[in-house]
Amino acid sequence: MLTSARCGAKTRAGAPCRSPAVSGKMRCRMHGGAKGSGAPKSNRNAIKHGFFTREAIDERRDLRKLLSACRETLDEFK
């Protein structure tokens, strides 16, 4: 137990965690080394709604440019 690898996480106080790492992992059971812990292998949350896809970002950018041009045109008529 004393010679096993230590967890690489930091505590809230900034000191390194002194718990032993789970075998085959870099973290202890409390910091994500337990079986089934952590995020899924692929980031399915990002593609769930498509808000941050390249096409959606480009579409919002183009819409902002169009709105800006419309505001400038309306300001010319004042």
Calpha distance 67→61 (Å, rounded): 10
For the record, the structure tokens of 69 come out as 């041009």
Looking at residue 76, its pLDDT comes to 94
CA 10 – CA 46 distance, rounded (Å): 28
pLDDT of residue 61: 98
Cα 43 from chain centroid? 9
Residue-level pLDDT at 65: 98
Q: At CA 30, angle to CA 21 and CA 34, rounded to 5?
A: 70
For residue 1, what pLDDT is reported? 67
8-67 pLDDT, tens digit per residue, is 888 889 998 988 988 888 888 888 878 877 666 777 666 667 788 899 999 999 999 999
